[in-house]
Amino acid sequence: MKRSIVLFRQDLRTEDNPALSAASDGEILPIYVHDSASQGDWVIGENSQKWLNNALCSLNKSLGENLAVFKDDTLTVILSLCKQHNITHVYWNRCYEPSRIRYDKAMKQSLVDQSIQAESFNGSLLWEPWTVLNQHGESYKVFTPFYRKGCLMSQKPRALVDIKTPLIYISTKSDTLTPINISDWSISENGAKQQFQEFIENGLDGYKTLRDFPSKPNTSRLSPYLHFGMLSPHTIWHHVNGLIGIMPDKDIDHFLSELGWREFSYYQLYHHPTLPDENWQKKFNHFEWEDSPEHLRAWQEGETGIPIVDAAMRELNQTGYMHNRMRMVTASFLIKNLLIDWREGEKWFWKHLYDADLASNSASWQWVAGSGFDAAPYFRIFNPILQGKKFDPEGDYIKKYIPELKGLPTNYIFTPWEAPAETLQSSGVSLGKDYPNPIVDCSETRKEALLRFKRLSSE
């Protein structure tokens, strides 16, 4: 009988798993290897490590407690196991980070040299980056033609794959797994499906408009499940397409285009591997960034004195998650009001987000900075006060994460420094003590940002 290793990485599920499906006609040794070397300079962040741990615990249960976990060099582990257990095949689903691509190519060649059949599959993307090219055979640089022409008018995403059951396992000794208590999330394959169903029932209708409001239930909150592959994008794509005629077309189209943005992020990273570290638009290499540890720390800790920014940063620090609109607001404030290099924000998000994803994180920060593909122009600067008033009109989001301001009348909760002294006193707020005064003037720093950009563009 065929004896196969299935190497799990960012595909921690049993359903619609091509690598597991390929191995399911024989005996299977499912493994996960903690291998920081293969991650290059972007070793998994602190909160992502916690999520990963619990996801592995869940996967282990789904695999009948047969998941073998190791901490070593991946190829070394695999070659040793192949020898111990007479393994004939090794299967995995592809990762698209530059360091992973390099490692996987070398690993596949090493296995073939040992007369072991090695095969990789697409378990993570609807369209693989090298398959989507424009009419000149070149990669797209702008999202809309990439998605509308390059993706939607090309081959449809693959069908879901089945797995032959019951699975027959090969046992081996490995490290043990212990779950970590993480509130507010069900970190399991079933939890991913439940979250998806919750969104379909309560969030998809009205998604296009209401997704920007952090207190509304119209964001999917699927990003960590997608990053770790606990739910496949193909499952989401086919299910949501099946709702055409049942749910509003504009909401379906907009939600699917967000999956398209995820694809575009991976596309950028594949075709331009330096995206996490280098400005794609090289003129930004000459931008005059501020070096202010005090301002950076205030931003990181949610102590800038700008309530909507601080609420979002505290949401991140307390929950490992941040609403998408708020990600744009906080990023714009760091880059264009504090004038701090976007890479500082990228690193903080990488450390604290459960859904920290190299492609999405780097592409999104460069988008806000104006230095990336199809980026928001640098002169598009979010006014955080107006953003708060528009998308958190009752101040519910601010009050949730900045409880020291919850006694303020709504018309002052976005700008507490404008509140009369008697209003602050009656609300129990002492600025500079209970809550900081603004660390910068948003209007003045906006002018300075535009001035620096103008100097940059004229060089």
**Dist. CA 15–CA 247, nearest whole Å:** 25
Task: Please name the residue that has the structure tokens 């890479």.
Answer: 343
- Residue 419 · residue 438 · CB < 8 Å: no
Q: Which residues are catalytic?
A: 258, 261, 289, 324, 342, 365
Cα(445)–Cα(115) distance, integer angstroms: 62
Distances (CA, A) of 54 to 140, 174, 178: 37, 17, 8
Contact between 196 and 204 under an 8 Å Cβ cutoff? The reply is: no
Contact 220, 399 (CB under 8 A): no
Please check whether residue 51 is in contact with residue 354, taking contact to mean a CB–CB distance below 8 angstroms: yes
Q: In whole angstroms, what is the distance from residue 177 CA to residue 230 CA? A: 18
Alpha helix locations (H) across 41-174?
46-62, 74-85, 98-113, 143-144
**Strand pairing report for 89-93 and 68-71:** unpaired
